[in-house]
Amino acid sequence: MMRLGVAAALVDGVYRRGDVEIDDTGRVAAVGVPGRGRGLAVPGLVDLQVNGFAGVDFLTADVEGYVGAGAALARTGVLAYQPTLITSAPEQTIAALTIAGKAEAETTQGGAVGARILGVHLEGPFLSPERPGTHPTELLRAPDTTLARQLLTAGPVTQMTLAPELPGALDVITACVRAEVLISCGHSYATAAQAHAAFDHGARMVTHLFDAMRPFTHRDPGIVGAALTRGDILLGLIADPNHLAAETIQLAFRAAPGRVVLVTDALAASGCPDGHYRLGEVEFDVAEGVARRADGTLVGSTITLLDAVRHACDAGVPLESAVTAATHTPAALFPGQGVGLLRPGDPADVLVLDDSLTVRTVLHHGAPLDTEP
Ligand code: ZN
């Protein structure tokens, strides 16, 4: 039996004073244990949108790359994630999905110490040319159920981002929902009515709310207004000051308690020095941590998910809500997989944070990881 020596823990999103006990099999034995400790224990973080990390771009990575990126993510506190593939030609996406499937098998069966792959998030190719963000416009496609099914069978797809207003999108949504793939609306110029139609067909989430979509205005609330006011829709949010103002972050948390999912939209450049990098076919530069194409378009972010939690707190979001948005809420999409939870009986995938919300220790199945890269 081991104690973490913390003052409190976030258990099921609720602040519990007291220490945490880990048993000899690496599971959480007890919470709220009397004792005088320091810092806060929180569940391992869950990131649903990671394009790459630590020099690895998932569109072109090999299995070894995934293992390295997973280990680097774990050092930042992310213990489960969805590698995310930017729009590319279907053959390239299919090849990348095949590798992702191998990487998933290798990292779960091989017992690699690192962030666990929950499945792949396909961002594209059915996105709006009106809001491509950094996706190559010439590779965007009209929604097509045959191609969608081809992609779903090529690898372990768990989420697809599409623009719901495009002709044929509702059929793709129906096909994906039948295959139990989470549909998230994004890179979209959808009106509120078009967004509601997608949600009524089973879309459950919006990808990086506010970014790359029709803006909210008072008579034309668009996809943003539809998503904020519907209790059944999750809201992905890049809580990075370069993407969203503090008020915007706080607005989402206030309007949608328990529905915000913090994501990083991290890049190969994340966890690396400033410099020149690639995201699929897209080249970009990172200067002072901000990734932009030569034309100035933002390209994902280089923040860690714990940075996102800290930025949300700095924006005025309560700590419990910010941590829940990076653990419990995304983890609820993967029931029974034991991720994003800190409860007696669960594997001790736990972070110990100090008062400034930096990682002191990361426990993977009860064993401390070396957090020095
Ligand atoms: Zn995007």
- Strand pairing category for 290-292 and 282-287: antiparallel
191 and 156 part of one domain: yes
Check residue 373 and give its pLDDT: 54
User: Annotated catalytic sites, by residue?
Assistant: 265
CB 186 within 8 A of CB 166: no
Q: How many Å apart are CA 363 and CA 41, to the nearest integer?
A: 10
Task: Check whether 183 has a pLDDT greater than 90.
Answer: yes
Six token digits for residue 331: 């983890």
Give me ligand 1 centre to Cα 345, in Å.
36
The mean pLDDT of 186-215, rounded to a whole number, is 98
In which band, very low, low, confident or very high, does the pLDDT at 271 lie, cut at 50, 70 and 90? confident
329 and 349 part of one domain: no
Q: How many Å apart are CA 157 and CA 117, to the nearest integer?
A: 11
Task: Check whether 111 has a pLDDT greater than 70.
Answer: no
Give me ligand 1 centre to Cα 49, in Å.
9
Indicate the residue type of 261.
V
Give me ligand 1 centre to Cα 19, in Å.
39
272 and 128 part of one domain: yes
354 and 295 part of one domain: no
16 and 164 part of one domain: no
Task: Check whether 363 has a pLDDT greater than 90.
Answer: yes
260 and 357 part of one domain: no
Coil, strand or helix at 102? helix
For the stretch 164-177, pLDDT in tens is 999 999 999 999 99
101 and 129 part of one domain: yes
The residue whose two tokens read 């410099």 is 275
Q: Give me the CATH number covering residue 347.
A: 2.30.40.10
Compute the mean pLDDT over every residue in the chain, rounded to the nearest whole number: 95
13 and 71 part of one domain: no
In which band, very low, low, confident or very high, does the pLDDT at 110 lie, cut at 50, 70 and 90? low
Q: How far is CA 236 from the centre of its chain?
A: 8
Give me ligand 1 centre to Cα 31, in Å.
38
Q: How many Å apart are CA 292 and CA 295, to the nearest integer?
A: 8
| Whole-prediction pTM | 0.96
Quickly count helices (H) and strands (E) in the chain: 10, 23
Give me ligand 1 centre to Cα 133, in Å.
6
The mean pLDDT of 101-123, rounded to a whole number, is 89
Structural domain of residue 155, as residue ranges? 45-336
In which band, very low, low, confident or very high, does the pLDDT at 109 lie, cut at 50, 70 and 90? confident
Q: Give me the CATH number covering residue 328.
A: 3.20.20.140
For the stretch 318-335, pLDDT in tens is 999 999 999 999 999 999
In which band, very low, low, confident or very high, does the pLDDT at 282 lie, cut at 50, 70 and 90? confident
Give me ligand 1 centre to Cα 215, in Å.
15
Give me ligand 1 centre to Cα 295, in Å.
17
Give me ligand 1 centre to Cα 208, in Å.
7
For the stretch 222-238, pLDDT in tens is 999 999 999 999 999 99
The mean pLDDT of 62-68, rounded to a whole number, is 96
For the stretch 335-360, pLDDT in tens is 988 899 899 999 999 999 999 999 99
Instruction: Please give the helix or strand (H or E) that residue 112 lies within, else none.
Output: none
